[in-house]
Amino acid sequence: MKKHLVPILPLSLFFLGAACGPPEKSGGPAGLKTELTRTALMDKIKGGWAGQVIGCTFGGPTEFRYQGAMIQDYQTIPWDDSLVAMRFEKSPGLYDDVYMDLTFVDVMAREGIDAPAASHARAFAQAGYPLWHANQAARYNILNGILPPASGHWANTPHADDIDFQIEADFAGLMTPGMVNAGAEVCDRVGHIMNYGDGWYGGVYMAAMYSLAFVSGDVEYVVEEGLKILPPESGFAQCIRAVIDCYRADPNDWKKAWFEVERKWAQDVGCPDFVFNPGNIDARVNGAYVVIGLLYGRGDFSRTLQIATRCGQDSDCNPASAGGILGTVLGYNGIPAVWRDPVKPIEDKPFAYTTMSLNKVYEIGLDQALAMVRKNGGSVEGEMIRLPLQPIKEVPLEISFAGCYPVERKRLGLQLETSAEVSFEGTGYVLTGQPSKMVDAGKDSYVFQVELMLDDRPPVIINLPVDDLVRKLEISWAYLLPAGKHAIKLRVLNPRPGEYIRIDDLITYGDKPVERAY
């Protein structure tokens, strides 16, 4: 096994200069590329997909082990030429970023680049791979009749602002070279399946940076120009702008930007796993870590991955996004061999739960990019491709959890066998828990049915599958209730002997921020 020392040196020793070559042919605004050869386009598509796999592999062992903490410079993050093949074989779930992307690529390969949201929703909801957070919440919603875009709306999922679509939007940018608006339209169809607001914006922004990575070798330009796709008043855009401002003030110290993000943006309001708990899976914080890696990495692939990973939190997904975007800028052949060559042994192997390999998605990705070029007014004439560059149009403003402020997390620890009652005071709640005997996918199709009555509202029936693959992440929730006291009554309609439903925590919300005494 060949060990490589370059990726684990202290960050101060890495080369800081840009590693981007000159454009093939420039023109239009800011000297952007307006033409690419078919070979160059394929090289960039391959660089984007390979960069994503490299980032996932590199950051995998640190994922959520550093919550609200940097990975210090003295902490080695190993890399060698066997890691991709080993983790591909032994830890297939690590590549959920990729196999989720491939689901949507496959739908469009079968139905065309205009495949509707419903087709994408059915494909991933019925897939055999495990899911988490916004993706799993959307899967449950879809299988229980809540279809997109309602399946990703914050009224229907506490995970609307989670990172999920941000880590899956790579395909949308890789199929829209230079066409940021076209990428956003793809994101509208797919991203609202599982996310809304800042959660959706994370994917829209990543796709925009991928699109721009085809036409500019300037990483700073890619970061700043891509931000134009988002409403500046959105929380996501404000968080990224804060990182850019820190970089402008001091381009040599990425940790200042990290502390600024932590100081102002680290509170997770939606995801029940992290409200009042350490950690953050919010798209804007993790999106900021992607941008910190890109800006302070200054076009150096090793440094970019190191920084994006060392920011912590979702530290496999963030270097995957940064590595994919920079890999698109550099092209496959521009990624340093120490990073690129370990990918080669798995390029013909299908990812878990799919029939698609990297070599297959390279080819399909090229076909879909060419189709997008033609659809949007560009041209493909033999080897030469003329890109239809588009003035960026800002997407509409969306805000999740507006007026919702966490007040308290209370441990209940109840066993719901027949009936239970929970009371709280505030304007919203999330009740966490699940059936007591969650099992491996497909081994138990039993679904508990629970009647829930909130105050004097009509009762509703909640389905709680025992099968982990189609589980409901939380028992119930409601936001923007009238301020005051509320009662939740629960009754199991079909109890099963010896089993129960765990009622774990009650998270309550109010209509204004809590003022703590210091």
Q: What is the dihedral of CA 177, 179, 183, 185, to 10 degrees?
A: -150
3 found inside a domain: no
CATH number, residue 442: 2.60.120.260
397 found inside a domain: no
User: Is 413 in the same domain as 380?
Assistant: no
Give bridge partners of residue 471 from the DSSP assignment: none
393 found inside a domain: no
Q: Which of 332, 357, 386 is the last residue of a domain?
A: 386
Shortest CA distance to 305 belongs to which of 247, 358, 254, 246?
254
User: Is 254 in the same domain as 360?
Assistant: yes
Which helix (H) or strand (E) segment is 212 a member of? Answer: helix 198-213
pLDDT in tens, 471-516: 999 999 999 999 999 999 999 999 999 999 999 999 999 999 988 7
The total domain count for the chain is 2
Shortest CA distance to 85 belongs to which of 206, 203, 2?
2
262 found inside a domain: yes
248 found inside a domain: yes
pTM of the model: 0.94
Q: Which of 323, 351, 386 is the last residue of a domain?
A: 386
518 found inside a domain: no
pLDDT in tens, 283-307: 999 999 999 999 999 999 999 999 9
396 found inside a domain: no
Q: Is 81 helix (H, G, I), strand (E, B) or coil?
A: coil
User: Is 371 in the same domain as 428?
Assistant: no
80 found inside a domain: yes
**Are 400 and 198 a contacting pair, CB within 8 Å?**
yes
Compute CA 134 distance to the chain's CA centroid, rounded to the nearest angstrom: 9
User: Is 169 in the same domain as 101?
Assistant: yes
Q: Which of 340, 358, 386 is the last residue of a domain?
A: 386
Contacts of 358-362 with C-beta under 8 Å, sequence gap 24+, read 358/46, 358/49, 358/50, 358/53, 361/49, 361/102, 361/105, 362/42, 362/45, 362/46, 362/49
CATH number, residue 140: 1.10.4080.10
User: Is 274 in the same domain as 411?
Assistant: no
User: Is 138 in the same domain as 21?
Assistant: yes
pLDDT in tens, the chain (518 residues): 433 433 333 333 332 233 333 334 444 445 688 999 999 999 999 999 999 999 999 999 998 888 989 999 999 999 999 999 999 999 998 998 899 999 999 999 999 999 999 999 999 999 999 999 999 999 999 999 999 999 999 999 999 999 999 999 999 999 999 999 999 999 999 999 999 999 999 999 999 999 999 999 999 999 999 999 999 999 999 999 999 999 999 999 999 999 999 999 999 999 999 999 989 999 999 999 999 999 999 999 999 999 999 999 988 999 999 999 999 999 999 999 999 999 999 999 999 999 999 999 999 999 999 999 999 999 999 999 999 988 999 999 999 999 999 999 999 999 999 999 999 999 999 999 999 986 664 679 999 999 999 999 999 999 999 999 999 999 999 999 999 999 999 999 999 999 999 999 999 999 999 887 77
Cα 395 to Cα 160, 182, 184, 198, 285, distances in angstroms: 17, 11, 8, 12, 20
User: Is 358 in the same domain as 439?
Assistant: no
User: Is 505 in the same domain as 363?
Assistant: no
Burial 250-288 (b: 16+ CB within 10 A, else e): eeeebbebbebbbeebbebbbbbbbbeeebbbbbbbbbb
User: Is 323 in the same domain as 210?
Assistant: yes
Which helix (H) or strand (E) segment is 416 a member of? Answer: strand 405-416
User: Is 341 in the same domain as 415?
Assistant: no
Query: What domain range includes position 194?
Result: 9-386
Cα 516 to Cα 261, 407, 427, 513, distances in angstroms: 21, 11, 19, 9
User: Is 230 in the same domain as 299?
Assistant: yes
Q: Structure tokens of 270?
A: 């939606």
- What are phi and psi for residue 188, nearest 5 degrees? -65, -40
User: Is 168 in the same domain as 74?
Assistant: yes
Q: ω before 149 within 30° of 0 (cis)? A: yes
- Residues 457, 48: Cα–Cα separation, whole Å: 50
- Residues 140, 428: Cα–Cα separation, whole Å: 21
